[in-house]
Structure 1
Amino acid sequence: MNHHPNEDALAGPIIPPMAMSRRNFLGVGTTLLGGLWAERVFPETADQATLPPKAWRDLALRLQGRLLRPGQPGFSSLALPNNLRYASILPEAIAICASTGDIAQCLRWCADHGIPLVARGGGHSYAGYSCTSGLMINLSAINRVSYDKASGRVTVGGGALNGALYSALQAVGRSVTHGRCPTVGAGGFLLGGGIGFDMRANGVGSDKVVSTEIVLADGSLVTASATQNPDLFWACRGGAGGNFGINTAFTLDTFAIDRVAVFSLQWSAVSDDFIATLFQTLEAAPRGLGSRVGLAPGLDAASGARGIDVTLLGQFNGSVDELRDILQPVFLMATPTHQIIDRMHYWTGQSYIVDPEGASHYQERSRFVNGGFPEAAIPVIRAWLRRWNLAEGSGLIKFFQTGGAVNDPSADASAFVHRSSQWLAAIGIQWQGDQSAAEQQWMHRWQDGFYREITPLAGGGAFQNFVDPSLENWETAYYGTNLPRLRKIKARVDPTNLFHFPQSIPPAQA
């Protein structure tokens, strides 16, 4: 194994790993992610610093909704991102848009005054890209969710949160591929692909989008579907948020639901053979099984030696007995230290495995694993987890099971290019807000070294919804062979690059 060049810098006294909270131990995807230091993301601009108050008053008069300035009630809570690493990035104003017309007014005003802008849905951009030092366009009032029984389709507003979508679908006994965090914005989730336990059976979230409404840079509202603006429709299914306009509505096909077997299992101090068997068993499972494997630093209770603790979380579209039969090779290897397997109504099960956690400080780095899980990754994982030596904070690697229906479309069927993987690997770190700078730096060195060794073994690109601002060659990592087409579409619908941020898709040059 190639060792990290700064391995000596990572060395330190062996400290027992922290007692894992539910978030830390299960490796929740939405709470262990992040990006660059906040002050390096959105610098102040000269235009913004000299903009007179009258200009902001003029914008307020144009809106049906409200314009909040710093110090006004509600401003601080609306400005706060999910990743507290970027909490210091504050907008000059927040426009709570009541309509698509309000959004158009904001876009024209920003273009006229040279003010940076960002649209905010759930505020879960892992790299703080839903923060800005200019105008934050808050979509929370554009949140209607409606279901059409005749077509079996649901339409969700661009500012609706996942939780509102869950509630609407639960009421009609339907579902879509969705994540576990109810406070994530449905729009951002869908625009970047959208992963969840249903994806092996039904595809990623964006695969079910049949149309979307979007306000373009010139303020026009257009519909994108297979028959209207088909190139833009293609781009909005995996091209990620904030690139082509502000999406104000999505219409999706839904699927019928039934009872599911929900499972949460844990093992301590596992062997390499156990890890290999676990991944082989899950890869052989039918499409109706969706899972997420977490591998975290642990201790052997008997010897006190460092080891690997494993968590397995997910759902299966079948009976408990069928699920136990599928997992039998794993159970024969080791008995779980914690085991919950129960069959229940689909939405009751989602409530059980939901991620209710709030804001925190985190960063995540991801890679799709093309083909099956590489056994050569096991000693790499073991070596890096053994190096974790902090009593506070957490570091681990998670594997979200892909394959199945995720890989049915071709790589160019939509902008979501990742169609040949069996897993999505993500190395996450989380820290306390008052943790020392030295310990935070150590965490980042640990994460970067781990990531460098895992990347060539994974073989795939990076997940655009787990945005990673420290990622080299991010354009091809996120979009692969679809990047040239995305750049051409960007140049056509946003020729002045009004929608831009450090990792926005650059328009093609004429």
Structure 2
Amino acid sequence: MENLIKDIDSSLVENLTSQLRGKVVKPSDKDYDETRKVFNGMIDKHPGMFVLCRDVADVIAAVNFARENDLIVAIRGGGHNGGGLGLCDDGLVIDLSGIKFVRVDTSNNTVRVGGGNLWGEVDHATHPFGLAVPAGIISTTGVGGLTLGGGVGYLSRKYGLTIDNLLEADMVLADGSFVTVSAEQNKDLFWAIRGGGGNFGIVTSFKFQAHPVKTVFGGPTLWPIEKTEEIMDWYHKFIHKAEDDLNGFIATLVIPGPPFPENLHNKQFCGIVWCYTGDMNKAKEVFKPILEMNPIFDHVGEMPYPAIQTLFDGLFPPGLQWYWRADFFDELGPELRKQHLAFGSTIPTPLSQMHLYPISGAASRVGPEETPWAYRDAKYAGVIVGVDPDPANSDKITHWCKDYWKALHPYSAGGAYSNFMMDEGQERVQASYKHNYERLSQIKKKYDPNNLFKINQNILPK
């Protein structure tokens, strides 16, 4: 049984505070309520204490304090986790948001990034050099959480998942020691963090391979929701045969308002958001078969890569109510398409939606044991999100999300992409790592035998 922060002798807390460059925030402090906010406004946890770390020494001090005092501990990077797993009730939150730096090395196109950075900050630093690191689709997402879970986004078909571009990481382990992991050193740990989440330690810096991406051709195409089955069938046949330079995720969604034209507002659609990284002179030719499907609306064109990464930031500011459910899928068969039409036609609030991200191209050419990310052979990482600013609608968005998921789950591959999961229990975690769970469990036992880092999609020490 863990201790609560309030039961810890105040002199021990004072001693910790004296060791830090960062600061400690407690429930009695005036900035406590602001500090405990995360991206998902549905999360309402009350930690006993925050350590807002400024550097690696702060992280080591906080880890040692948590372990020596038998505290429950959570690690927060960008705070985007759907299930609020960057927080814990009554325990210690080690917050990395003060550990920020981005250094681009143009001699080998690598980027070193702090454990507290957000993806928008990385894009800002790499873009002037015509480079990008594969990430997600929202620029306010934290680098740490997205990377450790896998990293699916616009560049996955061309350059793989974020973990496929991770070259090295600096980590603080459960015993307070500091290690660097890569293909050359601490290889088992390097394998484990490429998809195994925050189970094995706290990553204070990442080194990524960046790629030449400056300008992309992309944006949304929309069809009336009634065409969902037809568009999904076409998309499934089209996307996996398309050149790796072309990516697009398919969605059922509502247009909430500006910047879209007024005649589309509050109507349901089947949409695809495209991103093409190839020769801009060939873009119109590449998009010809797409536009021949006669979308009711298209807003595709040339733009800087950071522009597509921030396309939806304005629609999803921090503090909205979010409920997430997810699964991997191998096919988009007739029964599945029928369910997408049914639930896409009854989306409860303007920001709620379903996305299917293709796992093909470069992302599918990594072996299922090369990283913990076990579903390289699945065709899609699917996610359903119930989203709304009003807490009064939290039940409505949760029920729709759960019902949609229940209708799709029998057609799924079994597990889900861990970054799309809430706190769903051991069975779901094991299903999501499949054949790699056993190996992860052994590595967990070696580096965190007492499961200090367990507020996550937890892998139990074997």
- Does residue 411 of structure 2 align to residue 454 of structure 1? no
Match of 1:81 in 2: 38
Aligned to 2:274: 314
d(CA) in 1 for partners of 2:452, 2:146: 22
2:325 touches 2:383 (CA, 8 Å); kept in 1? yes
Calculate the TM-score normalised by the size of structure 1: 0.82
**Selected match of 2:58 from 85, 102, 111:** 102
| Structure 2 CA distance for aligned equivalents of residues 307 and 471 of structure 1 | 35
Secondary structure of the structure 1 residue equivalent to 2:42: helix
Conservation of the 8 A alpha-carbon contact between 1:274 and 1:330: no
Instruction: Return the alpha-carbon distance in structure 1 between the equivalents of residues 244 and 174 of structure 2.
Output: 40
The letter for the 2-side match of 1:120 is R
C-alpha contact (below 8 Å) 2:124/2:306 kept by paired residues: no
Residues 202, 76 of structure 1: CA spacing in aligned structure 2 closer, same or farther, 3 A cutoff? Answer: same
Question: Equivalent residue of 1:425, what SS?
Answer: strand
Deviations 1:217-268 (A, max 9, x none): 1110001111111000000111112x11110111111111243212222222
Q: How does 1:377-456 map to 2 (within 5 A)?
A: 377-388=336-347, 390=348, 392=349, 395-435=352-392, 440-456=394-410
- The letter for the 2-side match of 1:457 is Y
Query: Structure 1 residues 228-237 or 138-147, which shifts more?
Result: 138-147
Give a deviation string over 1:347-391, Cα, whole Å, max 9, x none. 455455656632211111111222x43233111222333455x4x
2:131 maps to a residue whose letter is R
Unaligned runs of 5+ in 1: 1-43, 299-305
- 8 Å contact from structure 1 (residues 292, 312) kept in 2: yes
Is the contact between residue 366 and residue 425 of structure 1 (CA under 8 Å) also seen in structure 2?
yes
Determine the C-alpha separation between the residues in 2 that align with 1:274 and 1:293.
Answer: 9
Residue 98 of structure 1: CA displacement?
Answer: 2.2
Give the aligned CA root-mean-square deviation in angstroms: 2.5
Alpha-carbon distance change, 75 to 368 in structure 1, aligned in 2, over 3 angstroms: same
C-alpha displacement of 1:55: 2.8
The residue number in structure 2 matching 1:338 is 297
Matched, 1:362 2:322: yes
Q: 1:74 and 1:161, CA in 2 relative to 1: closer, same or farther beyond 3 A?
A: farther
What residue is the counterpart of 1:174 in the other structure? 131
Q: Residue 271 of structure 2 aligns to a residue in which SS?
A: strand
Task: Determine whether 1:111 maps to 2:111.
Answer: no
Which residue of structure 2 lines up, in the alignment, with residue 160 of structure 1? 117
Paired amino acid for 1:250: F
Task: Give the 3 Å change call, closer, same or farther, for CA 184–258 of structure 1 in structure 2.
Answer: closer
Q: 1:147 to 1:297 in 2, by over 3 A?
A: closer
Could you list the per-position Cα deviations for residues 130-159 of structure 1 after superposition, in whole angstroms to 9, with x for gaps in the alignment?
Answer: 012211111122111112222221111111
Residues 64 and 347 (structure 1), Cα distance of their counterparts in 2 relative to 1, 3 Å cut:
closer
Measured after TM superposition, the shift of residue 329 of structure 1 is 4.5
2:424 paired with 1:464:
no
What is the CA distance between 1:441 and its match in structure 2? 3.5
Which of the residues 496, 505, 509 maps onto 2:450?
496
- Could you list the per-position Cα deviations for residues 47-100 of structure 1 after superposition, in whole angstroms to 9, with x for gaps in the alignment? 4342343332222112222212234354332221111111x2122221122221
Looking at structure 2, the residues matched to 430 and 353 of structure 1 have their Cα atoms a distance apart, in angstroms, of 13
Residue 263 of structure 2 corresponds to none
Cα distance in structure 2, aligned partners of 1:332 and 1:181: 29
Residue number among 254, 258, 261 corresponding to 2:217 in the alignment: 261
Q: Is the 8 A contact 1:278 1:330 kept in 2?
A: no
The answer as to 2:97 corresponding to 1:140 is yes
Alpha-carbon shift at residue 323 of structure 1 (Å): 4.4
Distance in structure 2 (CA, Å) of the matches to 1:307 and 1:432 = 18
Identity within the alignment, %: 25
SS in 1 for 2:248: strand
User: Residues 77 and 171 of structure 1: is their aligned pair in 2 closer, same or farther, counting only changes over 3 Å?
Assistant: farther
SS of residue matched to 1:435: helix
Match in the other structure for 2:427: 473
The answer as to whether partners of 1:297 and 1:386 remain within 8 angstroms in 2 is no
CA apart distance, 1:324: 4.7
| Contact 1:47–1:113, Cα closer than 8 Å, also in 2 | no
| Residue pair 1:307, 1:382 contacting (<8 A) in 2 also | no
Give aligned pairs, total. 449
Question: 1:21 aligns to what?
Answer: none
CA distance in structure 2 between the partners assigned to 1:240 and 1:367 by the alignment: 17
| C-alpha distance 352-81 of structure 1, shift in aligned 2 (>3 A) | closer
Query: How much has 1:160 moved relative to structure 2?
Result: 1.3
Counterpart AA for 1:378? R
Q: Structure 1 residues 386 and 153 mapped into 2: Cα distance closer, same or farther (>3 Å)?
A: closer
Output one character per residue of 1:83-119: Cα deviation in whole Å (capped at 9) or x when no partner. Answer: 1111x21222211222212111111111122221112
Equivalent position of 1:216 in the other structure? 173
SS of the equivalent of 2:157 reads helix
Match status 1:374 vs 2:333: yes
Residue 185 of structure 2 corresponds to: 228
Cα pair 1:261 1:319 within 8 Å, conserved: no
Q: Is the 8 A contact 1:280 1:373 kept in 2?
A: no
Q: Which amino acid aligns with 1:58?
A: N
| 3-state SS, counterpart of residue 485 of structure 1 | helix
Residues 115 and 471 of structure 1, relative CA distance in 2, 3 Å threshold: closer
Q: Contact between 1:100 and 1:248, CA under 8 Å: does it hold in 2? A: yes
2:126 is matched by which residue type in structure 1? L
Letter in 2 for 1:246: I
For 1:46 and 1:348, the matched residues in 2 are separated by 46
Instruction: Give the TM-score taking structure 2 as reference length.
Output: 0.90
1:349, 1:383 → 2: CA distance?
29
Conserved 8 A contact 1:319-1:343: no
Secondary structure class of the residue paired with 1:367: strand
- Which residue is 2:262 aligned to? none
C-alpha distance in structure 1 between counterparts of 2:311 and 2:457, whole Å: 35
Q: Distance in 2 between matches of 1:67 and 1:368?
A: 40
Mark the CA change 1:434 to 1:343 in structure 2 (over 3 Å): closer, same or farther: closer
Greater than 6 Å deviation, 4+ residue runs: none
> Partner letter of residue 154 of structure 1?
V
Which consecutive unaligned segments of at least 5 residues does structure 2 have? 256-265
The one-character-per-residue Cα deviations of 1:284-327 (angstroms, maximum 9, x if unpaired) are 321111112111369xxxxxxx9951122121123677445445
Q: Secondary structure at the match of 1:421?
A: coil
Match of 2:47 in 1: 91
Which moved further from structure 2: 349-358 or 496-505? 349-358
Kindly state the Cα deviation for residue 488 of structure 1 after the two structures are TM-superposed. 0.3
